[in-house]
Amino acid sequence: MMSIAIYAGSFDPVTAGHLSVVRQAARLFSHVVVVVAVNPNKRTLLTAEERVALIREVVAKHPNVSVTSTEGLIVELAREIGASVLLRGVRGATDAQFETELAQMNRALAPELSTLFLPAEAHLAEVSSSALKERLTRGEDVSAFCPPAVIAKLRERLSPPSGAIHEPVLHSPGRR
């Protein structure tokens, strides 16, 4: 029997913590679908298309992992593709509380789906997409927290052209 799991998030950008969850999931499930969830209320640095392309690049070595995006409910996508599990990464107690509430909401919407919490490795517990962007903006080395392709994309987006004052462009789904 083929087991399909969905790992959804904003992934703005994908971090080593996210990839830790993907690696674990790829060993546990026949197929893992990483889903860039487009939240109309969340401003992002990278477009959904850029996030999907980056994730595809960094998970390419996992043949049982695919990447897509959706603006709809994750439970609806899970039903469409025959997934039985929703994966959620957790870094610590604060994440666990939020993720448990989300899992309960998803269970109310789709009782046939199970939610599985997967922790990233301990040394990645403090790495969030927001913290990654902040560290890079301050000029810190973030190579332990994300792949080189992510660093390159963030530098491209966050670095001002020489001599220019530059504010990063934040993307909302309705604004490109």
Residues catalogued as catalytic = 18, 42, 91, 129
Hey, which residues does 68 pair with through a beta bridge? 35
The C-alpha angle 93, 58, 73, rounded to 5 degrees, equals: 55
Q: Is 112 annotated as a binding residue?
A: no
Phi then psi dihedrals of residue 79, to 5 deg: -65, -45
Q: Is 156 annotated as a binding residue?
A: no
Name the nearest CA neighbour of 22 among 11, 10, 32. Answer: 32
Q: What is the dihedral of CA 143, 145, 149, 151, to 10 degrees?
A: -70
Q: Is 126 annotated as a binding residue?
A: yes
Q: Is 128 annotated as a binding residue?
A: yes
Q: Is 165 annotated as a binding residue?
A: no
Q: Is 89 annotated as a binding residue?
A: yes
Q: Is 130 annotated as a binding residue?
A: yes
Task: Report the chain's C-alpha Rg in angstroms.
Answer: 16
CA distance 55 to 49: 10
Q: Is 153 annotated as a binding residue?
A: no
- Give the N- to C-terminal CA distance of the chain in Å, as an integer: 41
Q: Is 84 annotated as a binding residue?
A: no
In the annotated binding site, the residues are 10-11, 18, 42, 74, 88-91, 99, 124-130
In the annotated binding site for substrate, the residues are 10, 42, 74, 88
